[in-house]
Amino acid sequence: MIIEAGEPSFKNALLFVQMFEYDPLLADRAADLVDTATIADLGHDAGAESRYAFTIGKEKKIRPNRNYYIVAIICKDAAKLDYPNRLYYGLPTHTTGICKVLTNGEPTQVTFKGKKVDG
């Protein structure tokens, strides 16, 4: 996750990443959460770009007949992941929309740019 230099400073935040699996042939079934990753005590200084690396799904069995996507958010408080506490959400740099990964030619490595949550 990249937070650009022009963004305001913050400290003691949490990067929270989730990976979901879904069956592309079932339109009426929710995706299943299959893995999470967190990085605590994040900080960012205005005027300098910040980069945070994470690994997710490495220990999971990837099924070729399923699709996968990941989401990433940075929150003010590790105990509160709900909307009012979200600082940034991750926008994938390789596509617009959902960040599909791992199967059907989708990437195994992605970069997110942090987009400030309005509110």
Q: Which two tokens stand for residue 7?
A: 């963004």
Would you state the pLDDT for residue 85? 86
Q: Mind listing the pLDDT tens digit for each residue in 50-109?
A: 999 999 988 888 898 999 999 999 998 766 777 778 999 999 999 888 999 998 888 999
**CA dist., res. 100 & res. 19, Å (int):** 10
Label residue 89 exposed, middle or buried (CB < 10 Å: 0-12, 13-18, 19+): middle
The reported pLDDT for the residue numbered 119 is 58
Token representation of residue 107: 């990437």
